[in-house]
Structure 1
Amino acid sequence: MTDVKIGVVGIPGKWSTEAIADTLEARTGFRLVIDMARVTLDLAAGTLMFNGVDLGSLDGLVIKKISEIYNPDALDRLEMLRVAEARGVKMFSRPEAILRLMDRLACTVTLANAKIPMPPTIITEDESAAHDALSRYGSAVFKPLFSTKARGMILLDHDAPDAVQQIASFHADNPVMYIQQKQNLSGQDLGMVFLNGEYLCTYSRISQSDSWNTTIHSGGKYAPFQPDAELIALGRRAQDPFGLSFTTVDIALTDAGPIVFEVSAFGGYRGALEGCGIDAAARIAEHVLHEVQP
C-alpha cells in the first residue's frame, strides 16, 4: 500500500514500538516513530509537530506507549494527541479511551460500574482508614495510581510491627492510597488479548521466584493457557467499556472464582508473541491499514 502514512507513538528503540513501525514500513514504505517528549503543540496554528512532521497530516497513529513511566504528566500528552484526532487522524487506540486506563482508579471505577469481579479494594487519603483496611484484609497491596509492572507497589501484612510507618511512607508519595486485598495467585496470572474487541489468545505469567507478583519485571515468564468460554466472556466484558484497538485483560484464578486486576492501556505484545505465538504487531498493522483505507 502506498501513500498511506501511519506513525507510531512510543519509545524509540523499544522492541514493541520498533516492531510495529517495522511492520507498517514493510507494508507502506513509511516509517515514523514518535517520542512525545519532542512533540510541540501550537494551538493557534493547529499543528502538532515532531521532527518537522505535522502529526495532523498523517492518516493514522498507533499509540503503543505514551511515556516510559506512567505519571499524571503523561495524560497531557494524550490531550495533545486529541488535536490531531480532531483533524481527522485515525487513532489506535483513541486518546480518550487510554486516558481512562492510565489512572488505575479510573480503570477500577469503570470495571466496578460494569460489574466486573475484582479484588476487594479501598481508596482513601486517610491513613487511619488505610490501616483499618489493612487490618480487615489481613494482607494488602498498596498501589500507586500511575504505575506498571508492579513498580512502586508494596505488600503489607496487618501484623507487621512497622505497618503504621510503612503506610505513612507510602502516603507521602501517594496522596490517594489505592489498597487491594492480596490474592493467592498460585504462582500465575493470565493476560487475555483482544484486537478491536475480538479475542485473540490468552497467556499466563508464571512466577520463577518467591516474589509476591508474577510480572516479567519480577522474573516471571510467559506460557500458553487455554481458557474456557466463560473465562473468555469475562475478559470480553472487562475490555468492552474502553473501546481499545488492542489490549490485554489481566485476570487471576482464585478459590472464589476469576477476578480482573486491570485492563491494559497498551496491550501485551511480547506476551502474545512468547506466550501465544501470535505476532500482535503484524495483527495491529493489518487492522490499522484496513481501517485507514478510503
Structure 2
Amino acid sequence: MTDLKIGVVGIPGKWSTEALADAVETKTGFRLVIDMGRVTLDLATGGLHYDGHDLSTFDALIVKKISEIYSPHVLDRLEMLRMAEARGVRIYSRPEAIIRLIDRLACTVSLAAADVPMPETRITEDPSAALQAARDFGTAVFKPLYSTKARGMTLISGEDDKAGEDIAAFAAEHPVMYIQRKIDLSGQDLGMVFLGGEYLCTYARVKQGDTWNTAIHSGGKYEGFDPDPEQIELARRAQAPFGLTFTTVDVALTDEGPVVFEVSAFGGFRGVRDGCGLDAPDLLTSHILKDLGA
C-alpha cells in the first residue's frame, strides 16, 4: 500500500465512480469522491477546495465523470481542474485531452484529420442544408453536440413529409446540427477499450427488441467480442491523437468495413466487466500508481 493522496472526480453514488474510489482506497488507504458541482477555485491562491480538502495539494486526481449531463458548462469544470494540474497535480486523463472529446464535433474533426473512417457526416446551422442532408442520406441521425449514450439523438427520414418540421424542432434546441447517415449496425456495435494507449479488450453492445440503437439505456446488453487485428489497429489509431488514460472507441462493423462513431472521454467500466470479465477500476488504479512511481 502507498500513502499517495488520490481523489476520484465523478458522480457520488454512481457505481463506476464508487468502484473506482474503492479500488483507490484498497491500494492507497485514502478515499475521496469529488463532486465538481461543489468545488471552489480560488485564483488568488490557486487552491481548489472541496469538502475541507485542497485538491491542488493532492498527488493525483482521476476523472471518471465530470458531469451527469454533457453541456458547455462541463468545459468550465475542466478548466478548474487545469489549475490544479498547473500546480503539479497529476490528472488522469488530462483535462486538455478530455476537453477535446466533450464536444462531439471537436472529436469528429480530430478523427477526420487523422483519416479515421466514420459514417458520412454533415454539420450545419442551415435548416435547408439539413433537410438536403436527410434526403441524401435517406435516414439521418441528428445528434446533439453534447450528449452521451445516444441521449437526444433523433432519427429523421428525408422521405417524410414532416422532415422539415422535425428538423426545425431539433434545431430549436440544437442550432448547430450534427447530421450522420444512419448505418446498419446488424444489431450490435463495439466498445474497444484502451488503457494507457494500449489495447485492453473489446465488448459488444447488442440491441434488444425493436430499438434503433444499441445503447444500454435503450435496453441493449453487453457481450464479449474477439476483434481481428485490423479492427484493433483502427481503434488504436482513432484514440491515439487524444492521449487518454482510459478510453473506449465506439466502432461499427458495416458491409463497407469498420467505421468509428466516437472516442469516449471516460470509457465504460461496466462494459469491461460484463463483456470482457475484467476489473477496470483495479486495472486503471494499478496503471496510475505505476505511472506515479508507486
State the TM bucket, normalised to the shorter chain: over 0.9
The runs of at least 4 aligned residues of structure 1 exceeding 2 Å deviation read none
Q: Does 1:24 align with 2:30?
A: no
Aligned equivalent of 1:258: 258
Q: Encode CA deviations 1:137-163: one digit per residue, 9 max, x unaligned.
A: 000000000000111110011111211
Deviations 1:183-224 (A, max 9, x none): 000000000000000000000000112111000010000000
Once the two structures are TM-superposed, the CA of residue 59 in structure 1 deviates from its matched residue by 0.4
Residues 35-184 of structure 1 aligned to structure 2 (within 5 Å):
35-184=35-184
Task: Give the Cα–Cα distance (whole angstroms) in 2 for the partners of residues 133 and 4 of structure 1.
Answer: 53
Q: What TM-score do you get using the length of structure 1 for normalisation? A: 0.99
TM-score (norm 2): 0.99
Separation of aligned partners in 1, 2:244 and 2:46:
26
Q: CA deviation at 1:3?
A: 2.1
Q: Secondary structure at the match of 1:260?
A: strand
Q: Deviations over 1:63-84 (max 9, x none)?
A: 0000000000011000000000
CA distance in 1 between counterparts of 2:3 and 2:26 reads 13
> What code does the residue aligned with 1:182 have?
K
Aligned partner letter, 1:82: R
Q: Deviations over 1:94-121 (max 9, x none)?
A: 0000000010000000000000000000
Q: Give the letter aligned to residue 217 of structure 2.
A: H
Query: What letter is aligned with 2:214?
Result: T
Deviations 1:250-274 (A, max 9, x none): 0000011000000000001100000
- CA distance in 1 between counterparts of 2:96 and 2:84 reads 13
- Secondary structure of 1:141 counterpart: strand
Q: How many residues align?
A: 294
Q: Distance in 2 between matches of 1:207 and 1:275?
A: 14
Q: Report deviation, 1:293.
A: 2.6
> Which aligned pairs between 1:261-280 and structure 2 lie closer than 5 A?
261-280=261-280
Q: Does 1:206 align with 2:206?
A: yes
Q: Which runs of 5+ in 2 are unaligned?
A: none
> 3-state DSSP class of the match of 2:25?
helix
Alignment-mate amino acid for residue 274 of structure 2? E
Query: 3-state SS of the aligned residue for 1:259?
Result: strand
Instruction: For structure 1, list consecutive stretches of 5 or more residues without a partner in the other structure.
Output: none
Letter aligned with residue 198 of structure 1: E
Q: Match of 2:96, as an amino acid?
A: E
| C-alpha separation in 2, matches of 1:150 and 1:138 | 20
Percent of pairs identical after alignment? 67
